[in-house]
């Protein structure tokens, strides 16, 4: 897990370009989603964290976003994850 406030913008862009970061999350709400999610783009920088994989996000106690990851969210909600 990488906190947005602890990484420079250029380093962040490089990690996204090199597929080292694939998901973003809200540290306070414990929700993760895709980097293109409109909900994720509105969150405050100090609450934003990044993950390499869904597995990493789930191991850190995050749940899928209901907007950009509808199927994964429904599976989580129904207890399948």
Structure-token pair, residue 51: 């993950």
DSSP assignment letter at 46: G
Could you say which architecture CATH assigns to the domain 2-79?
3-Layer(aba) Sandwich (3.40)
What is the reported pTM? 0.89
pLDDT means per 10 residues, the chain with 81 residues, are 94 93 96 93 94 96 96 90 62
Query: What integer pLDDT is reported at residue 3 of this predicted model?
Result: 95
> Quick one: pLDDT at residue 80?
72
Domain ranges of the chain: 2-79
């Amino acid at each position: 897990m990488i906190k947005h406030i602890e990484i420079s913008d250029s380093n962040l862009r490089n990690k996204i370009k090199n597929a080292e970061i694939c998901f973003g999350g809200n540290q306070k709400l414990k929700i993760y989603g895709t980097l293109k999610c409109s909900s994720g783009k509105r969150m405050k920088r100090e609450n934003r964290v990044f993950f390499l994989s869904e597995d990493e996000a789930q191991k850190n106690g995050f749940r899928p976003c209901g907007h950009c990851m509808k199927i994964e969210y429904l599976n989580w909600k129904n207890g399948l994850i």
